[in-house]
A and B are shown apart, each in its own frame.
Chain A
Amino acid sequence: MQTKRPPFWQREKYTPYLLLLPAILTILFVVLLPLIFSFYTSFTGYRLIRPESLWQWVGLRNYERIFGDDDFWAAFVRTIVFLTIALNLEFLLGLGIALLINKITWGQRTLRTIMMFPMMFSPILVGYQFKFVFNDNIGILNNALESLGLSDGAIPWLVDTYLANFAIIFAEVWMSTSVFAILLLAGLFAMPRDPIEAAKVDGCNAWQVFRHITLPFLMPFVFIAMTIRSLDVARAYDIVDVMTGGGPAGRTELLWTLIARTGYDNARMGQANAMGYISIILSIAFTYYFFTKLIASRRYMGGAD
């Protein structure tokens, strides 16, 4: 007797795809279509105020223009420097905080909760908060410095090139250090005690135990944090936009503020999308780099016991 083949949606081979279909459709409409659309517009002279320009094909002109633009390159380099300094500072501070909290036995839960507060604020609010901290006339920082007699004039925190970039990095680090601290603390909690004790008996002092045992064990957690952070670091746009708006005179311009200005203020959507693509590739490159590091450092942790 021959059984009839069931219709394809009932065959086992297709079941996983069938079950994934809603997710695939959602991603398709919410992520992929806009991506393709913006990729297309990066080859047009699309201006927000003139919808018909969407059909004006200009080939690679947008890309040529950005690559020849000094302002773009300045923002590009500044973004990479910003990422490098911010991520490393967040890592070091987060590590320090995690190590300290791991040491104390009393009040640890409370501290852990308090530590998460910065993550609960919207970046916009963080931006406003630090805008008022660093404001040269009414900011509490300048006020405090003057009251303590440490400075006599108003320090232009948000105007001077170095100070403004410092202020922005400071705000970003304040907001995101806890991501590192929390993930590294989780790593420290998961850390087996035995290898540490073995190392002590093997002749290590406290620093050597940290350097040779604790830190290598924490590296996967560091890379997880780095991966997550390099995906969502673009949220710093809010902070920069509120605190300095990329100014004065482009001194704090990052890729993200430049893109927003080009697309919305100057209405050159096509060109903005071309920059957007470059910033996506930059973000993917950072993520990919940390992800491969993560995979490599995870490999030996399989038999950690």
Chain B
Amino acid sequence: MAEITLDKVVKRYGKLEVVHGIDLKIAHNEFVVLVGPSGCGKSTTLRMIAGLEDISDGAIRIGGDVVNDLPPRKRNISMVFQNYALYPHMSVRENLGFGLKIAKQDPKMIEERVAEAAETLGLDALLDRTPAELSGGQRQRVAMGRAIVRHPEAFLFDEPLSNLDAKLRVQMRTEIKKLHQKVKTTVVYVTHDQVEAMTLADRIVIMRDGNIEQVGTPMEVFDHPLNTFVASFIGSPPMNLLPATVRGGAVHFTDGKSLPVPSRLAGKVRDGQEVTFGLRPDDLTPQGHGIAEGGERAQMELEVILSEPLGTETILYTTIAGQEAQGKMYGPRPVSPGERLVFDVALEKAHLFDAATGRSVAAD
């Protein structure tokens, strides 16, 4: 059982505090992804779990035991590094078997485990090469193989795919997901790519500036972002966030346009409250070009500034409240700049955030 618990974990470098007391419970065999912008403390958190960084305050438990003062070798975890971190002077076979050799395991058992990992990752033909003779994707696979041969309690990944080209990244992403289904183990995976986070995670942990902003399943954080940061970070293209004021049951934008307050949020706002109106591009569609018709709708006539055809859909750029906003047109037809279209706003999917705190009004 490898449940990992972080209890008010703090990391300070000298006087500089970079992780501010985070709490997190990772269940046995769960795939958790830490995601956030560069410098938010993802790697630091992961490295504290691995034991490569000291914990300044708080406690980390693996399988119930506090591991604060245990060196990495006693934590029974495996880590895959961004730069692969293969041992350059060892062959692929030796790289894979190194951890078991250090643990003084039976050579026959090492051989079996290495063969098993090589088979899982398609490395059979490469076993006698050195890392210098491998491509980036192959090195990545060796790094993962090295992690799985030890049958650890948990895997830690630190941006394992960021050095690969786009195509290989998608392919390896799928392989990691398959691997997790085959080798059921607890996984903590760090990335700054929200698509990777959405596709891989059982649960996503969104971090900013050393704090956890939200924890939830991919659909939870996508459908119910707790604040504007999560709303803008998850989803591509990002959610439109438009400044507005609530007056008489309607949301008034600075340019005079207005929309009704979504009925599910009606009791949550007061008259005169400054808010940020959040709407995903998928929920702002020209009439007759949406995905699902019906539901709570409102209409707005908007001028199209620019259109970007993507094939099955076209991204439309327009202006609301003096800000650029994006909409989507499904089943697209050619649109010329300057054209005025009536857009459907899917109000039941719209979000309202308090302008001062950035928090979703639905959360209170």
> What residue of chain A has the Cβ atom nearest to residue B99's Cβ?
A202
Given the contacts A194-B83, A195-B87, A197-B81, A203 and B73 also touching, CB distance less than 8 Å: yes
Choose one: A200, A202, A216, A304; the contact of B146 (CB below 8 Å): A202
Which secondary structure characterizes the binding site on chain A? helix
Decide if B50 is an interface residue (CB 8 Å cutoff): yes
Contact mask A158-199 → B, CB, 8 Å, 1/0? 000000000000000000000000000000000010110111
* 19 A-B pairs whose Cβ atoms sit less than 8 Å apart in the complex: A192-B83, A194-B81, A194-B84, A195-B88, A197-B81, A200-B71, A200-B72, A200-B73, A201-B52, A201-B72, A201-B73, A202-B73, A204-B102, A213-B87, A217-B89, A300-B88, A300-B89, A303-B134, A305-B84
Contact mask B5-39 → A, CB, 8 Å, 1/0? 00000000000000000000000000000000000
- Which residues of chain B from 44 to 73 have any CB-CB distance to chain A below 8 Å in the complex? 50-52, 71-73
Decide if A65 is an interface residue (CB 8 Å cutoff): no
Within 8 Å CB of A199, what residues of B? 87, 98
Inter-chain contact B102/A216, CB cutoff 8 Å: no
- Which residues of chain B from 76 to 116 have any CB-CB distance to chain A below 8 Å in the complex? 77-79, 81, 83-89, 98-99, 102-103
Choose one: B79, B89, B130, B133; the contact of A198 (CB below 8 Å): B79
Given the contacts A201-B52, A202-B98, A300 and B130 also touching, CB distance less than 8 Å: yes
Within 8 Å CB of A201, what residues of B? 50-52, 72-73, 77-79
Choose one: A195, A212, A299, A301; the contact of B86 (CB below 8 Å): A195
Which of the listed residues B78, B88, B132 has the most CB atoms from chain A within 10 Å of its own CB?
B88
Contact mask B144-171 → A, CB, 8 Å, 1/0? 0010001000000000000000000000
Q: Which residues of A contact B (CB under 8 A)?
A: 192, 194-195, 197-205, 208, 212-213, 216-217, 297, 299-305
Inter-chain contact B89/A216, CB cutoff 8 Å: yes
CA distance A198 to B160 in the complex (A): 13
Decide if B131 is an interface residue (CB 8 Å cutoff): yes
Report the minimum CB–CB distance from A39 to chain B (whole Å).
42
CA distance A212 to B102 in the complex (A): 10
Question: 6 smallest A-B Cβ distances: which pairs?
Answer: A303-B132, A194-B85, A202-B99, A198-B85, A304-B88, A302-B132
> What residue of chain A has the Cβ atom nearest to residue B104's Cβ?
A203
How many interface residues does B have (CB within 8 Å)? 28
> What residue of chain B has the Cβ atom nearest to residue A208's Cβ?
B102
CA distance A41 to B253 in the complex (A): 102
Inter-chain contact A205/B73, CB cutoff 8 Å: yes
CA distance A200 to B132 in the complex (A): 22
CA distance A212 to B77 in the complex (A): 20
Report the minimum CB–CB distance from A237 to chain B (whole Å).
37
Choose one: A194, A202, A301; the contact of B102 (CB below 8 Å): A202
Which of the listed residues B77, B103, B132 has the most CB atoms from chain A within 10 Å of its own CB?
B132
CA distance A207 to B77 in the complex (A): 20
Within 8 Å CB of B73, what residues of A? 200-205
Inter-chain contact B52/A200, CB cutoff 8 Å: yes
Given the contacts A201-B78, A202-B99, A205-B73, A303 and B85 also touching, CB distance less than 8 Å: no
> What residue of chain A has the Cβ atom nearest to residue B98's Cβ?
A202
Report the minimum CB–CB distance from B46 to chain A (whole Å).
11
Report the minimum CB–CB distance from B190 to chain A (whole Å).
15
Choose one: B52, B88, B103, B134; the contact of A203 (CB below 8 Å): B103
